[in-house]
Amino acid sequence: MSGSDDRLSTGPLLFWSAVGIALLHTGSLPLTTNDLSIYLAMGRHMASTGALLEQEVFTFTAQGTPFVNGTWGFSLLAWWLFESIGPNGLRLLNGLAVAGAVAGMGLAARARGADPRAAAAASLYAWWLLLQNTIVRSQTWVFPIFAALSWLAARPRPGPLALAGGVVGGAAWASLHGSFPAGLVAFGAWAVGQAWDERDWRAGRTPALVALGLALGACIGPYGPGLWGYVLDNSSLPVARGFVEWLPPSPTEFHGIRLYGALALWLVLLGRSRGRAPTAWLLLLLGFGFLGIRGTRFVAWFGLATAVPLAERLSQALSSDGGLPRRLLRPLQIGLVALWAVLLSRGLAPLDEPLDSDTPVVLVDAIAADLGDAPGPGRVFTPPEYGGYVAWQLYPQALISGDIRTWIFDDPAWNFYLDVSDTRSGWQDDLDTRGVTHLLLWTPFHGAVLEPAVAAQGGWEELARSDNGSAWRRIGGGSWAH
């Protein structure tokens, strides 16, 4: 066969297209500040004081409460990057993080011997299932760490390399987000499954060493093994307080449709396979499938944990890759590169307004102007989802009622927000007792009950209104030094 008739696999073309889709989607998203802002505020505080922030300073409901700052690394890194490259740079970096995770899962599949086309499909599958976790937040930035460790654990490695890689990955992961037990479950399942199927413990040596290194690395940070207690506590409280992403995914909503669609796909693939599926596949599917059904935030982990098994199963089903003739594939590659260059240059271009349209910029600016040179910090009642943005913009000029860090609020502090939001008996007295000077009301949360009650009560003056909410000041200025 002459060189002009050589045939090349389409797998790499499909793989890099999947990575490009992930980069284009995530890198083009505006910054959503309901999670990010409080970590920016914490990072700024730590950078200015030169000390780890372990006592609450931003809220008047939990002021002085000691807490484990399990995301200290993300807070510092996010703040430093925001200061260095700005919000548009942070958007691009976040896109690269997700694209890196998608690419890493494809490379891990290739390391397991998967067909290039199957590896590309697994990359796209992983991206599809982590779609709701692509905003700038600490969990998003650990996805590429999981992917890198998956690649490391995918085939036999020298013992010191596997262990050291796990330690480094675990130390980085634990400083960013408390989801590192997901890595232990995933790599532990690979180790147990491979050792069981081959009846030889050495078959699971590499993933076992990666898992061991990850467990050791998670203990390297400032909290040592005590970080495990923080992870356990922070896994139960959000469920008890009804945070949506911790609740089971609904089959009629987008994240539930994706999860149950993936489970249905697996039923088909396993039903058509010949022989018994590897034990590691079954452990991963059962373990992460159970977690995904129990909580929306685990849908992404189901996709990442089962991407490599998917590639292996698809490789069994695919016919031999005949590829395309070189003379056809080369022009196709050139055309696709040109297309992606145009798409990425347009989609990743800086935005004049990089913040999500839901960000209460107008309302917070109005409160800031009203605070002026007040003799003491104001106290702003705000929904937890937007408390972080208020703290980021106004601290120390104002303190907030709460934010998304559920683990720092005791029941009285948390119930204060619920009682006022639902205008339960004595809600006006609650605001007086807490010395609240301003209200940031968000229409989806407060438009039906609290906002009309505040307008009718007469003790508050509206400062500003946006499409999504309103800002109010206590008439007479309130007790600024309360």
> Where along the chain do its domains lie?
7-339, 361-474
Question: Do strands 378-381 and 398-400 pair parallel, antiparallel, or not at all (unpaired)?
Answer: parallel
Residue 162 CB burial class (10 angstroms; 0-12, 13-18, ≥19): buried
The pTM for the full model equals 0.91
**Helix ranges, 242-278 (H):** 254-272
Q: Kindly report, residue by residue over 168-177, the tens digit of the pLDDT.
A: 999 999 999 9
3-state secondary structure of 171: helix
pLDDT, mean of residues 347-365: 93
What's the pLDDT score for residue 248? 86
Confidence of residue 242 (pLDDT cuts 50, 70, 90): low
| DSSP β-bridge partners for residue 381 | 439
Predicted confidence (pLDDT) at residue 124 exceeds the cutoff of 60: yes
Query: Hey, what are 334's tokens?
Result: 């050139």
Q: Kindly report, residue by residue over 417-451, the tens digit of the pLDDT.
A: 999 999 999 999 999 999 999 999 999 999 999 99
Which residues lie closer than 8 Å to 58 by C-beta, 6 or more apart? 38, 41, 387, 391, 395, 399, 400, 403
Query: Hey, what are 343's tokens?
Result: 């798409």
